[in-house]
Chain A
Amino acid sequence: MSRVRVADLRLSYGTHHVLRGIDLVVEEGALLALLGPSGCGKSTMLQLLAGFQQPSGGEIWVGDQMLSSARAMVPPEHRGISLVFQNYAVWPHKTVGQNVAFGLQIRRLPKMELRRRLTHALRTVRLDHLVDRYPGELSGGQQQRVALARALAVEPRVLLLDEPLSNLDANLREEMRFEIRRVHDTSGITTVYVTHDQSEAMVTADQVAVLNRGVLQQVAPPEQIFEFPANDFVAAFIGGSNILHGVHAGAGVVRIGEAVLRGADYSHASPGETVALSIRPSRLGVTAAGGGPAGQADGNLLRGRVVRSAYLGEQRDVLIDIGGDQTVRALVPPSQRFAPDEAVLVSLPIADCQVLPLSAAIQD
C-alpha cells in the first residue's frame, strides 16, 4: 500500500521546464536514490512528492491513492510522507524529545503509546540519552539523527531524504550512510533519497534513478547502473568514464576523427548517427609513441599528446589530448612518467569500451 508511482510528472514555470515527464516506481519497502547534478530537478521532485508544490502535469500515487496532479492535491499534512531536510530543520525551540514527539502529538496518541514510540524512534537513531537537550547543544550529525527520528516516529508511508548528509563532514558522512541504510532495513519504510553524491547512492540504495535536466536518464540497481550505463551522461556522472564522441559506423564500430574504435554496442543507433564511446580512466593503457604504427589489429588505439600528468600516490592521472577538441583521462601505474606535450599512444581495450547513445538525444 505504500508503493510510490510517478506518472509523466511535469513542472514548468512558463517556458522553463524543471521536470519533463518523469515516470518512476518505487516498490514498497525499497530505497530509491534520486541522483543527479545540482539543478537537475531532484529536489523539486522531492517537493512535489511531499506536496509543497503542485505539478503542472502528471500524477503522483502512493498505494492506490492519488496524491498530486495538476488539478488536485492532498496537502502535505495528510499524505503520510515524512521529509528529512538538507539543513535538518530541527526546531531550535524544542528539545530533542519534543521534536521527535511532535508528529505523535498531532496524532493524539495515548501517553503510553507516545512514550513507547518516542523511545523507539530515539533508540533507532541511538539518541535516547539526549532526549532533553536542545538542538543548539547538539552536533550536526546528532541533529541529523534527530531529524531522522522525528520523521520515522510517525511511521510514515514514505520517507523522503533531501541530501541528508551534505552538511556533514566527510568522516561522519561515511558513517551516516550505513546508518541510514541500517535504519531503513529495520523500519522497512519506502524511501526516496535525494543526493548528488554517487557513492552515497551506491551504498544506500536498492535502486538508483539518475536525473539530468529534468529528464530521468536511467533507473536500475547500483551495480547495473555502474556496469551498464544507459547513455553517455550516466557513464560520465556515475563512473567518471571518458566519453568520446564519434560517428556510428556499423554495429560496435565508432569513427572518431581518423581512428576507428570498437566496443560493445548498446546504442541502438543507425550508421551515421553521433554516438559516444565510453571507457573508464583506469582501463586505458598509455605508452610513449615510439613511432609504432597506430590502429593495430588487436585493439583500439589513439594517438595523442599529454596535456598534464599528476601524481596521486596509488596512481598517476594523465590527461591526453587526442585531437578534434577531445581529451581522455587515464589512470596509469605511478611508475609510468610522462612529460607535458609528450606524444603518446593510448590503448582502449575493446572489452572495456561501450558504445552508448547520447543523452542529449532525449532532451527537449
Chain B
Amino acid sequence: MFTLAIGPYLVTILSAAMSPAEISKNMDVSHLMLSPLGQLPTVDDRALDLEKLSTEIARQARVALVHQEATADALVITGPDAEIRVYDNGNDIIFSSRQSNAADKIFTNMPKITMEETEARAADVLGAADVDLSQAVIDVHDYAITGGYEGQPKTTTIIGRKAFVYRYIGGVEVAGNKLVLTFALDGRLQKVVGTWSRVRYSNSILKSRLTTHQVRNRAADYLVNHDLLNEENRLAGAVGSHFIVTPTGSLKLMGFVNVQTIFSGQPGRVESYDFEI
C-alpha cells in the first residue's frame, strides 16, 4: 500500500488483499453528514403553480406564453418562439425561447446587469416555481464563446450568464436536483432547465443510525464486496452522504463512495456509488 497525491486529494492505492478496515482508515469523510442540520419542513412540497411560473418566466423573458395543453408525457405552455414543458408531475422543467442568430451583436456586448442582479432574477423565477429558497444554493457564472477561424488565434467573448441552482436540505445535497437558468447580457431570461423534485417529507428517512466510523467501514465493505478495488488503477476516494428522492417522492439519506480511476498515470474518471447508511 502507498499513498499518492492527486490534485486536492490524498488517496491510497489499495490491493485486493487489504481488509475493509484498512481501506476505511484512509477515506476522506469531509462530505459526510449523518443527519441534516436545523429544522426541516414538515409540510410536503406544493404542486407546481404553472400559471404563476409561466407569468414570471414570460415577464422576465419578454415573451408571450398563451396556449396550454397536456401531451402524453408533459404539460406544455407555448407562445411564438417560446415554450415551457413540465414533465414528471412537476419535477422536470424546461423553458426555452428561440435565440437570435445575431451573433455579431451578442459577441460585442458585455453584461449589463451585475452578478447579484442575476442571482436576484433567478430567485424570482425559483419563487414563482414554489422553490423553498432556503434550500437553493445559487451559483452564477458568465458563459462564453472562444471562437475563431482554422489556423488563426481564438478569442473569448462573454455571451451571457448562467445561474446553477443546487438543492440542499438541512445542508445535505439532494442528488439529481439542479436547475440552470440562462440570461442574456441584458438580463433577459432565455432558458430554464432542470429537475426540482416535489418532496414528500412524511415518509422520509432523514438520518443515519450509524456512526462515522461505521459508515467508513460500510463504504469499504461495499467496495470489497462489489469487487471494485480489484485493479491497481483504482483508488478509494471520498465518502459522503446525500439525499435521494425515491419514486414515491420521499427523501432517503444515502452514503456515497467515490473511486478514482488512474489512466496513463493521471487521474481519470471518478466513479460514484451509493450505499445504505
Q: Do A and B come from one complex?
A: no
A→B interface (CB under 8 Å): none
